[in-house]
Amino acid sequence: MRLLGRRLLEYRKCLQNHICGGAMTRIQEQRDGGALPDNALELLTDMQRIALRRIENFGWTLKFIRQPSFEPPLVVVENSTGVNIGVLEEDGGVNLSPRIVLRE
């Protein structure tokens, strides 16, 4: 029974994070390589690049980019204090109330 409960918790966590099976290894490898790939700016749309340059003037920086399968990259920025985060939308807008789960 205890093993079943543990497996259910693992499955639930898997569903919440949208990472199952062999994807966990790939994600761990990506984490080890750093949050920003070498081609980070190439992953952004033109509007996102323009917006990033604009908000960098106010102390915001590119924190990380998530690249979910079959979806556009999720570009996350943070302010200079590291307290606030936002998502840089495809159209260049900054969503300061993103609905994302941050990993530790």
Span 60-92, pLDDT tens digits: 999 999 888 998 899 999 999 989 999 999 999
Span 30-59, pLDDT tens digits: 454 567 888 889 999 999 999 999 999 999
Q: Residue 77: what pLDDT? A: 96
Rounded distance, CA 41 to CA 55, Å?
15
86, 76 Cβ separation under 8 angstroms = yes
What does DSSP say about strands 85-88 and 74-78: parallel, antiparallel, or unpaired? antiparallel
Could you tell me the CA-to-CA distances from 72 to 8, 26, 67, 78, 80 in Å, in that order? 30, 18, 7, 19, 26
pTM: 0.64
* Start-to-end C-alpha separation, the chain: 29
Ranges of each domain in the chain: 1-33, 35-98
